[in-house]
Amino acid sequence: MPTPTLNPEKIRSLLEITFGLQSGELRDDTPLFSSGLLDSFHLVEMISVLEKTSGRKIKPGEINLENLDTPDSIAGFLGTPA
Amino acid sequence: MEVTSATFQVIDSKGTVPAEATEWTARVSRLRAALRARGVRPGDRVLAWLPRGWEEAALWQATWDLGAVWVSVPRRNTPEQVTVLLADAEPVVAVCGKGERARLTAGPWVEFPDLFDSSEEDDEPVESPLATGLAALCYTSGSTGRPKGVMVSHENLRGAVSRMETYLRHTPEDRLLALMPLSSPWGLLQWLMARRAGAAIVLPPPVAMASELARTIRATGVTGLAALPPTWVQLVDFLDSQREPLPCLRYVTTSGGVISRRILDRFHTVFPNAEVWMTYGLTEAFRTTVLPAGEFHLRKGSLGESCPGVTIEIVRPDGTAARPGEAGELVHVGDCVTLGYWRQPEMTVRSFGVRPGHEALFGENPVHYSGDQVRRDEDGFFWFEGREDELIKSGGYRISPSEIEEILQAVPGVIHSVVGGIPDEALGQRIAVALELDDEGDDLLDQIRLVLRQKLASHQQPHQLRIWPGRMPLNAHGKLSRPEILSWLLASEP
């Protein structure tokens, strides 16, 4: 079964729910970690939520700011084959 | 120890020296003048809620020079939690970042840049603090849910520095990555050791992702790395998967909980030139044991042995000493013990008071009962067995279930809540919540998550919220049957 594509909008609402943010608080290009909005404790949680939702295993080497700092970059990263 | 060696410097995560930090002594002097002008006297508290950086460290040094008491609030605390600590510590001055004052409630707040309004330097003599005088309040979670300010003396810090220097042996060539916050004794000790040895402090990258940490360590040539278990799990997995070891590290040192064998077994692959110093300690009695680097392979997972000058007893409930191999409560004795909990005499007596029947073993000495069940083997090495209370240890932090439960109980629609720890490789324990709700709607769960995020810091956020089917079981006294609910949480693990 093909995994559903996670677009930036879905990522935003997923993160807003996971981290108890106000709906609409995030934009596609909101820096999550480099801005200090989320920290290393949130990161562990985010990885597990993204893996569960996307069905894709995130490798340790893929956990970096380029892939995970904004809803946009997360969507782009998850859209590429593992 | 108050002396800062001329070669001491601060380097940012990209490897450059921030311009402001080049004038370290002058900056500290101006901060001292600013604090004095705001009425700070010996024994007064100075509270900081600042991002990691040279600013916070310079403010701390100015506070120290004035004989005042340092209180750093962890950055991940919410404004509401900051307010609680502010009321408890009653600082004369409280310092936040630029533009942050509006987010905080009333108090003696000043934004950091405003401390430099006057360009005057301090020309009054710096007093050498009394050994037993209070240096800092380090806040930690207690079993009641109310944060406790551990009273750390200058003597406590001085003792720990000399213990740690026997094995870390810093020189001016060293570069220490400052991952440990200045709200914890370990953070304070790192800066003290660097200043004394004339070594460099490297500021951490804005986000402690393994990839960013590795980049900073490599770019700046960090030689000494101290971190808590979650960082080791992420960093070792990352470095191993990239096949990119970090040869620049001369030592790594860790504390704050058990690290799995899977991770420990790869330390020497990813840190090929590093000595590994495993340690144990609490905020109430810190950096008191060490596993010698030469013993790491033989005794992986041990808490180490008592540092020189530290007395540790493993006691039975009746106050007699446990035999080798027998588990008992670990108790620190003597000068390594901090001065108790700030303005909490009852809680202080509970943890720092010699218990009835224990007088023969401890006499009049200062003691601290750790609540940790530990055994000492025939060779004098300690091994962790478990906790006596319900405190959760997650990500190197003590988490109070009742603090979270109190917040949950206040949410309309929550009938009962039970918070417990579930084993987790990366964090030690994950925080799980069982809820009895009067309505099963997703809206209520969303509302609960929102409240938790507003009231609790990120390391206290529950990882799982589970709804108990029907009514929660009660025991004979009509109270919630916690053991049954906690085992359900464990069993309903995905």
Q: In 10 A of CB B191, how many CB atoms?
A: 21
Domain ranges of chain B: 9-129, 275-387, 392-491
- The predicted complex's ipTM stands at 0.79
Q: Does residue A82 belong to the interface with chain B, where contact is any CB pair within 8 Å?
A: no
Nearest Cα of chain B lies from the Cα of A3 at a distance, in angstroms, of: 20
What does the pLDDT read at residue B131?
A: 62
Question: Which residues of chain B are within 8 Å of residue A39 when distances are taken between CB atoms?
Answer: 76, 207-208, 458
Q: For chain B, which ranges sit under pLDDT 70? A: 1-3, 19-21, 127-132, 142-145, 440-441, 493-494
What does the pLDDT read at residue A2?
A: 47
**CB-closest option in B238, B454, B458 to A63:** B238
The total domain count for chain A is 1
Whether the model clears a pTM of 0.90, i.e. scores above it, the answer is no
Pairing of strands B327-333, B311-315: antiparallel
Chain-chain contact of B240 with A60 (C-beta, under 8 angstroms): yes
What does the pLDDT read at residue B359?
A: 95
Cα(B202)–Cα(B211) distance, integer angstroms: 16
Give the CATH number of domain B9-129; options: 3.30.460.80, 1.10.1530.10, 3.60.130.10, 3.40.50.980. 3.40.50.980
Cα(B258)–Cα(B280) distance, integer angstroms: 10
Q: Give a yes or no: residue A26 inside a domain.
A: no
Beta bridge partners of B437: B414
Fold equal for B275-387 and B392-491? no
Which of A26, A41, A42 would best serve as a mutation to test chain B binding (most B beta carbons within 10 A)?
A41
What is the span of the domain harbouring residue A41? 8-21+31-79
Which residue in chain B is spatially nearest to A63 when comparing CA positions?
B211
In the predicted model, is pLDDT for residue A3 greater than 70?
A: no
Which of B211, B238, B399 would best serve as a mutation to test chain A binding (most A beta carbons within 10 A)?
B211
What does the pLDDT read at residue A19?
A: 81
Q: Which amino acid is at B211?
A: S
Nearest Cα of chain B lies from the Cα of A25 at a distance, in angstroms, of: 12
Query: What's the CA angle centered on B18, arms A68 and B170, to 5 degrees?
Result: 90
What does the pLDDT read at residue A82?
A: 63
For A13-39, how does the pLDDT look when each residue is reduced to its tens digit (9 = 90+)? 989 888 877 788 899 999 998 887 888
Q: Give a yes or no: residue A16 inside a domain.
A: yes
Chain-chain contact of A44 with B453 (C-beta, under 8 angstroms): no
Cα(B123)–Cα(A9) distance, integer angstroms: 58
Q: Give a yes or no: residue A2 inside a domain.
A: no
In the predicted model, is pLDDT for residue A52 greater than 60?
A: yes
Q: Give a yes or no: residue A65 inside a domain.
A: yes
For B15-60, how does the pLDDT look when each residue is reduced to its tens digit (9 = 90+)? 888 766 677 888 899 999 999 999 999 999 999 999 888 899 999 9
Residue A28's Cβ-count burial label (10 Å; 0-12, 13-18, 19+) is: middle
Q: Give a yes or no: residue A61 inside a domain.
A: yes
**pLDDT higher for B297 or A48?**
B297
Cα(B341)–Cα(B152) distance, integer angstroms: 9
CATH fold of B275-387, please? Luciferase; domain 3 (2.30.38)
CATH code, B392-491: 3.30.300.30
Q: Give a yes or no: residue A55 inside a domain.
A: yes
Helical axes B229-242 vs B210-220, angle rounded to 10°: 80
Q: Is B349 helix (H, G, I), strand (E, B) or coil?
A: helix
Give the residue-averaged pLDDT of A44-53.
87
**CB-closest option in A34, A61, A64 to B206:** A34
Percent of chain A with pLDDT over 70: 94
